[in-house]
Amino acid sequence: MSSLQDIKQRFGIIGTSPLLDRALNKAIQVASTDISVLITGESGVGKEAIPRIIHSQSHRKHNAYIAVNCGAIPEGTIDSELFGHEKGAFTGATGTRKGYFEEADGGTIFLDEVGELPLATQVRLLRVLETGEFIKVGSSKIQKTDVRITAATNVDLVEAIRKGKFREDLYYRLNTVEIRIPPLRERKEDIHLIFRKFVADFSDKYHLPPIRLGNDAIELLRNHRWPGNIRQLRNLAEQLSVVEKNREIDRETLLSYLPDLGKSELPAVYNGDSPKSDFSNEREILYKVLFDMKNDLSDLKKLTLELMKSGATSDFQRDNSQLIHKIYGEEAEEEPEAPQYLPLYKEGDTEVHPETYETEHETVEEENLSLTDKELELIRKALERNDGKRKDAARELGISERTLYRKIKQFNL
């Protein structure tokens, strides 16, 4: 088995970062086994180098190694590409074709961007991982294959599982061993070394003198976040090598090739004087309208209740009783249609006196009359004293004019 330094030289891996060395050592350790390996990391970190290292250090190194970009194969043909098809299985299938799993029998297959696989294909892949069996498209014959599967992805498969885009059982079957490749921003000590390697390669390729970075430019290079990682760094080295006539690159020149370097990666600090977004303005306007409507409704309720209590809106109350009940609830609830009996009380008194009811002329004994007779007598006397004016009589009795009107109809007064 080759040493770590031999592996770096053989595959052109540059860097001394502990995170990088840990990933390479893990790849070397698992290479002698046949367990599945999942390589994770951001786009452009160089994940494709790990499966080649694993294959080269395994007992399968003399057999086929096939790399498949799952994201580049159309969904309608990916099953045929991976597992093959029989003649006439679909339109255009003019002959039998071997799939990648059949071609890689005895070797290693690398599934890049495995998170892009359709769910139906994930089921087929899970069967290969568990039993080593697959069925060609358009066939009913089960075939066996002996392959070592390595896979890579730059998406969060756990999140994809939560969204129903990736099978959980396939994830745990692929993720027997996970190897994470660190992004460039986590291995800053390697950035300038890699950049110099790219510069030397492009100098030979284009027959140009190599460019050199000043100290300030090197510091900028190391502090950049590199969202595209090694791929972005390689593109930068090529641009500078071809475009810049001055082979000495200073900070200002490098900054012009890194337009997003000046953007802060820290959380934004809110400034109260800064203009607000359109959404914030619309929300505040909506809140103000609702608040004003609430105030207007409260004022309307107060005004209407005052008018109702003063007796000046009996016609309005009668004509809009349902609306008032909806707005005020129990405050304006109509009396039920069942007969209502008036309490016996003295004018100005808040307590009910069931024993007697004193008028200006007489005292009525409760024992001598029924409640209905007392109620009828009180209504009749109130009407007589107020010359038949229902409004005044209702005020004297302490009931609404509408209730008095129903009592008059009830007793045929």
Place of tokens 């990736």: 166
User: Which positions ≥6 away from 232 have C-beta within 8 Å?
Assistant: 44, 226
CATH 3.40.50.300 boundaries in the chain: 4-182
The pLDDT of residue 316: 55
CATH 1.10.8.60 boundaries in the chain: 189-256
The three-point CA angle 98-101-106 to 5° equals: 115
The pLDDT of residue 365: 45
d(CA 329, CA 333): 6
75 and 81 Cβ atoms separated by less than 8 Å: no
What does the DSSP 8-state code read for residue 137? B
The pLDDT of residue 279: 53
The pLDDT of residue 288: 73
In three state form, how does the secondary structure of 231-259 look? HHHHHHHHHHHHHCCCCEECHHHHHHCCC
Cα–Cα distance list, 339 to 371, 376, 381, 382, 405 (Å): 11, 12, 19, 19, 13
d(CA 315, CA 334): 14
189-256 domain in CATH 1.10.10.10? no
Structure token pair of residue 260 = 């997003």
H/E element, 356: strand 356-358
4-182 domain in CATH 3.30.70.100? no
Helices 191-206 and 215-223 cross at an angle (nearest 10°) of 110
Mean pLDDT by 10 residues, the chain (413 residues): 89 94 96 96 95 96 96 92 92 90 96 95 95 94 96 95 96 95 95 96 95 94 93 95 93 86 48 49 71 77 70 56 55 46 46 45 47 78 82 82 80 74
The pLDDT of residue 399: 83
The pLDDT of residue 376: 79
